[in-house]
Structure 1
Amino acid sequence: MQANLLYLGLTNAFPGAWALFMPHSFYTSFPGFGRVWVAVDGPYNEHLIRDVGGFFLALATLCFLALLTPRLVSVKATAICLLIFNAPHLLYHLQHLHMLPVIDQVGNAVALGTAVLLPLLLLFHKPIFHKPNQYI
């Protein structure tokens, strides 16, 4: 469970910081390594990109809080918040894969599918050694 939260925190922090602090670079270059997943979907909008960065950073913060202070932020509540964002995000992109080359279609579906699968695992996780009120 801790590895899951760490992964989700990092994978939300990376695009969040990039989009919030370098929105044009995020628009033209995300996910990096010569691939482009955002610019193919319409014209650049700095306000929208910065807002998306803020959303990603908020989710990253929630993941890190659940990881580091499980009595303050429940893992299940974190999973629900992640699913509210990630499930519609995945569905949108699955309906628009045709705009991308095949390798990016696969990368997009895997990355966004993982962002839905891991919170589902957190939501239904039953700890082996349960501490009272730790995983409400």
Structure 2
Amino acid sequence: MQTKQPRWIQAILLYLLIANSVPGIWALFMPRDFYDSFPGFGRTWVAVDGPYNEHLIRDVGAFFVALATLCLLTLVAPRLITVRATAICLLVFNAPHLLYHLNHLHMLPMIDQVGNVVTLSMSVLLSTLLLFYRPVYERSQVLF
């Protein structure tokens, strides 16, 4: 049985859907521009970390799109197992991603260091919050 997700779960999933869709679509379909210009607004976070590799950038873009798709499916199929699976998948990616960037902040100016840490930490924090989701079921509903 499906259960309606609370607004806070929907808001987190929507944020993570957008946070993964934007870089994913950008990297998948415009890999050179993503490499040269991500995160936009005149900032550059990817190009400072090594030479351009179209294959790698497109693969990363596809991976972000896959995570965004997982978030979308979880919004559409609100079950405890989908929320937990989404949280775990996001953490498997986002925790090491954050750790890598924390160890390589020296390549960025201070404003970009702050932006990098804040945005990547948000994904880890919000994914972790999804693990605390406890739906309220009626007696007749199944727990998974």
Task: Place the TM-score, normalised by the shorter chain, in its bin.
Answer: over 0.9
Aligned to 2:25: 17
Write out the 4+ residue segments of structure 1 that deviate beyond 4 Å after TM superposition. Answer: none
Q: 2:54 maps to what in 1?
A: 46
Identity fraction in percent: 70
Corresponding residue SS for 1:125: coil
TM-score (norm. length: structure 2): 0.88
- Between the two proteins, the alignment pairs up a number of residues equal to 134
**Structure of higher CA gyration radius:** 2
Matches of 1:32 and 1:73 in 2, distance apart? 35
* CA RMSD across the alignment: 1.6
Kindly provide the amino acid, as one letter, of the partner of residue 68 in structure 1: V
Q: Tell me, yes or no, if the aligned pair for 2:80 and 2:134 is still in contact at 8 Å.
A: no
Please list every run of 5 or more consecutive structure 1 residues that lacks an aligned counterpart in the other structure: none
Q: Which amino acid aligns with 1:11?
A: A
Return 5+ residue gaps in structure 2 as ranges.
1-8
Q: Secondary structure at the match of 1:74?
A: helix
- Residue of structure 1 in register with 2:5 after alignment: none
Q: How does 1:1-136 map to 2 (within 5 A)?
A: 1-71=9-79, 74-127=82-135, 129-130=136-137, 132-133=141-142, 136=144
In terms of mean alpha carbon deviation, does 3-12 or 67-76 score higher? 67-76
CA distance in 1, matches of 2:142, 2:115: 37
